[in-house]
Structure 1
C-alpha cells in the first residue's frame, strides 16, 4: 500500500503513521546527510527553461556554511613531519590546488564529490566531519551515470597527514586552515583513495530539504527491512515495515535516511540515501512537478543556494542539470562500498574502522567508471563465458609505467627484478636505488589495477603475503607505479633466483 502522509485520515486509519509537523524540524539538530543533487539540479533546470538564469549571477559563488569555534578534539592527526617544526609552516609545503576548474566542455565525463556534514559535531561546537560522501559520475556522450557511496569509517591516507578515517579529511582541512579548507582536502583524499580525478565538489546543507520534499508531495520508499524512524527535533517515533511502500513527507524522509540501527548499519543507510535520491528525481519527473517548482523557483533557489558550497561554475551547473534530467533511470547505476570490499578493524586509538581491500576496491572503481566506456578484457571474457584472461595479458594491455627501486641489502636486486617483470609483460621505465627498507612497498599514482594485481600475485606466490600499497593519485607524474624492494624480497630472491621466460 502506498501511504500518503499528506492524507492524515488515511494515514492514521490504515497504518498508524503519524504526520510530522514541519515546526519540529530544526537545522541545528540535523545529523543526517542526504545527497539531493537531483533536486538541486532540477530546480536550477527550471530556471534554465524559463530563462531565469540570465537574471542570476554569472558565476556560482555560494555562501560558505557557517563555521563554529574549535574545541578540544583530544588526540588528532597532525601533518606528516620528521622534524619538530610549526605545523602550519610544514603544511605550506603541501599545496592543495583550489583554483576553479576549467569550464566544462560539455562532452567530457564529469565527476562530482557530494558531501554532507555531521551536525552532531556542530551541536557540540566542534569542527564537523563529513557524515556522507557520495561520488557521482556522468558520461554526457552515452548519457549514463553512476553513484558510489563511500563509508565514513574507511581507513585511508589523508594527503599531508597520516592514515585516518576518511570522514576526518574535512575536519583536518578546516582545523589546519589549509587552502580550500575541508572541501579541498576531502576531495583530494577521495581522489587519492579511488585513483580517479574529481572535477567538482558540492557541500550541501539541508535546511531546505524537508520543505523540498513537501513541495513535491513526499517521496515513495519501500524499505527492505523494518526501519525505526526517529524524527529530528522530536515527534512520534514509528516503524516502517519491510516490503510496504510509504510516501514520506520531508521530516520522515530525513528520518528514514538517517536511520542507522539496522543489521547492515551504515551500509544500509547508504542504500537508503541512494533510494531517497532516486525517489526525489523520479517523483519530479513522474508526477510533472515542474509547475510547482517553477512557480516557487526563486524562493527555493534562495533557500538552497545559501546552503551550498561548491567550486562548480553556475553555467556548468545549468548544463549538468539539463543533462541529469535527460538520463534514463535504467542508465543510472548505484554502487556502495559495503562489507564485501572491506575488513573490519580497529584504529591505533581503538576506534572501529573499515580497512579497504585494495584489489576489490579497484575492481569496483573500474566498474563505476566503466559506464559509457568499453568493457575490460576480464568483463568481455566473463560475458562470453570463456576462460579467465591471463593477468599478465592484461598487464601488457594496461602498459603501466613502472619504476623498480632497490631499498634492500641485495646489490643488483632492482635489475634482476626488472628483468623478470619485463619477461611478464611489464613496462619498466626505470631501475634505481632507494632508501633502505625492510619491507617492499608499492606506490600507485594512476589507475592501473591489473598491474597491481599481478604484483600482488608475484609477492603472494613467494609466500610473503601482500606488499604495502599506497595510493598517491597524481596524473601528472612520469610513472604510474613505483616499487621499492625491501629486505623481505631480497631474502626471498637470494634463495630463489627469479626465472626469466
Structure 2
C-alpha cells in the first residue's frame, strides 16, 4: 500500500481562514511557559546582582537557594582560595614534555598574584637556575622540582611539588598551579584559532632549538602578528634574540603578551558564546596539563580575569643584575646556580610578600636621593640599583660629607605624606629614620643644570648607606675579586700566547 503525503501548504481564501480554538490545556501550558521565561530572566538579573554587588541587597538575595546555584554558574570570586586575604597567587609552569631533552624540567616558572580589591596583577619570572630547597630532595635548581615530583609519585604530581617548593622559598601561599607542556601549548593556541600579538621590535634568534636537538633561525618583525601554536611557542621561548630580546626580562614580557592574547581570545564572542568549543579546547589538552583548578572554580577565575587590566601588569624578573636580588654561584659539584645575594631567602620572601606595595610605589613615582655614608666605594651605586628594583626613582647618587655612618638612615623630606613608602624602606633596609636633615646633607638636595644654574631636587627621601650594609659590602668585594681574577687570567693568557 502506498501512502502519498501532500507537502504543499493548504491555501485558503483570505476571508475564509479557519479560526483556531485553543483549549484549557494549551492556554495553561502557554501561561506556564511565560512564567518560566520570566522567572529565568528575573533569576539571572538577581543572580548577577548577587554575584557582582557588594551592597546589602546583593548580599541578601545571594542567600536564596536558587540564587546560590546561579552564583556558582556566573562565578563568585569570594569562593576562591586566597579571596579572604584579598590576594590569589598562582604558579604557571612550562615543560618540554615527551620528545624533548629534560622533558620534565620546567623551562618557564612564573609566580603570579591577583589583588581582588583593586583588580591589580603582578608576574614574577623565576629563573630555572635558582637554588632552592625541594622537599625531601635537598637544595637543587628550582626547575628540578617538577621532575622529582613526577618521578617519585608526589601527591597530585610534579606540578604540586613545584608549587610547594615555590611557596616555601618565597613565603607565600600558592593557591593555584598549572603546568603545560609544549604540545599542549600548541594545541590550545591552535584550537583557539591562533592569537593576535603585538611585537614591540624586530629581532632574530639564530639559536632556537629544534625537536631533533639542533638549532634553527627564527625572526619576528615589529607590528601585529596573528600567531598559530608553533609560532606563539617560538615567540614565548626565544632566549637568544638580538635587538634587546635576548634577556630573561624581554622573554618574560613576551610570555606576558601571550597570556594576555589568550585571555582576550577566550573572551571573544566566538568562544564565549560557544561553550562546546571552549570545552573541546581544554579537553584536547588535558593530557598535557597538570592543574589543581577544580571545574567549579573555572567560572570564578574567568570572571576574575575579565576584570584584570593585563596591559598594566607589573612584570618582575629575578636575576643577578646590579641591584638584583640574586647572584651567581657554583655548587660543590661545579654546577652554575643563582642564590640570594644576601645569602638569606628572607629577601626573596619580603619581595614576594610586598609585591603590590612596590607596584604602588612605582606608579606614584616616588623620588629619592641615595648617598654613601661610608668609605666603601660603590655602596651608594649598589643601593641605588636595589631602590630602583623596588620601584623608587633615584634622582641623585652622591657621597656624604660625613662618611662614618654605622647605621643606614632614611631622612623623610615628604612631611609625612609618604608614610607607607617610608615604612617599606625602613623594613627593607632595617634602617633608622629621621625627619631632621643634618646641615652637611642639605647640599645633596641641589644639583647643577647644564646651563650652570642650580635647582632644588624634589625628593621624598634621602637614603644614606651605612656600614651595617654588610651583605652589600660583601657582594661588592666578591664582584671586585671576580673582576680582578678575570683580568689576571686574561693577562696570563696574553703572556702565554706571546
Q: How does the TM-score come out when normalised to structure 1?
A: 0.51
1:353 aligns with 2:332: no
State the match for 1:216 in structure 2: 193
Q: In structure 2, which of residues 92, 108, 114 is the aligned counterpart of residue 138 of structure 1?
A: 114
The answer to whether the 8 A contact 1:232-1:255 is kept is: no
| Rg (Cα) greater in structure | 2
State the match for 2:130 in structure 1: 154
1:269 aligns with 2:251: yes
The answer to whether the 8 A contact 1:146-1:371 is kept is: no
Give the CA deviation at 1:193: 2.1
1:185 aligns with 2:161: yes
Give the CA deviation at 1:293: 5.2
Give the CA deviation at 1:115: 1.7
Q: Deviations over 1:421-443 (max 9, x none)?
A: 9xxxxxxxxxxxxxxxxxxxxxx
1:119 aligns with 2:103: no
SS at match of 1:365: helix
Q: Deviations over 1:194-241 (max 9, x none)?
A: 222211222224534334333334332415351338586589965424
Give the CA deviation at 1:300: 1.6
Q: Deviations over 1:289-314 (max 9, x none)?
A: 43675452232232133433222332
Give the CA deviation at 1:110: 0.8
Structure 1 distance, partners of 2:234, 2:172, is 33
Give the CA deviation at 1:105: 4.8
The answer to whether the 8 A contact 1:113-1:187 is kept is: yes
State the match for 2:352 in structure 1: 365
Structure 2 distance, partners of 1:246, 1:159, is 42
State the match for 2:303 in structure 1: 322
Structure 1 distance, partners of 2:204, 2:337, is 24
Task: Tell me how many residue pairs correspond in the alignment.
Answer: 313
SS at match of 1:228: strand
Structure 2 distance, partners of 1:170, 1:449, is 35
1:305 aligns with 2:286: yes
Q: How does 1:18-33 map to 2 (within 5 A)?
A: none
Q: Deviations over 1:241-288 (max 9, x none)?
A: 453443222221112222222363544433322222122224555x64
The answer to whether the 8 A contact 1:219-1:253 is kept is: no
- Structure 2 unaligned regions, length at least 5: 1-50, 52-68, 74-78, 372-406, 408-423, 432-464, 476-498
- Structure 1 unaligned regions, length at least 5: 1-47, 49-53, 59-100, 390-420, 422-447, 467-501
- Decide whether aligned partners of structure 1 residues 106 and 454 sit closer, same or farther in structure 2, where only a CA change above 3 A counts: closer
State the match for 1:290 in structure 2: 271
Q: How does 1:1-80 map to 2 (within 5 A)?
A: none
SS at match of 1:112: strand
Structure 2 distance, partners of 1:182, 1:278, is 26
Higher normalized helix content (fraction of residues): 2
Q: Deviations over 1:384-405 (max 9, x none)?
A: 546789xxxxxxxxxxxxxxxx
State the match for 2:225 in structure 1: 246
Structure 2 distance, partners of 1:294, 1:310, is 20
Q: How does the TM-score come out when normalised to structure 2?
A: 0.51
Q: Deviations over 1:57-99 (max 9, x none)?
A: 99xxxxxxxxxxxxxxxxxxxxxxxxxxxxxxxxxxxxxxxxx
Structure 2 distance, partners of 1:363, 1:107, is 17
The answer to whether the 8 A contact 1:107-1:140 is kept is: no
Structure 1 distance, partners of 2:159, 2:425, is 27
Q: In structure 2, which of residues 221, 234, 240 is the aligned counterpart of residue 255 of structure 1?
A: 234
- Decide whether aligned partners of structure 1 residues 144 and 345 sit closer, same or farther in structure 2, where only a CA change above 3 A counts: same
Structure 1 distance, partners of 2:232, 2:472, is 51
The answer to whether the 8 A contact 2:327-2:341 is kept is: yes
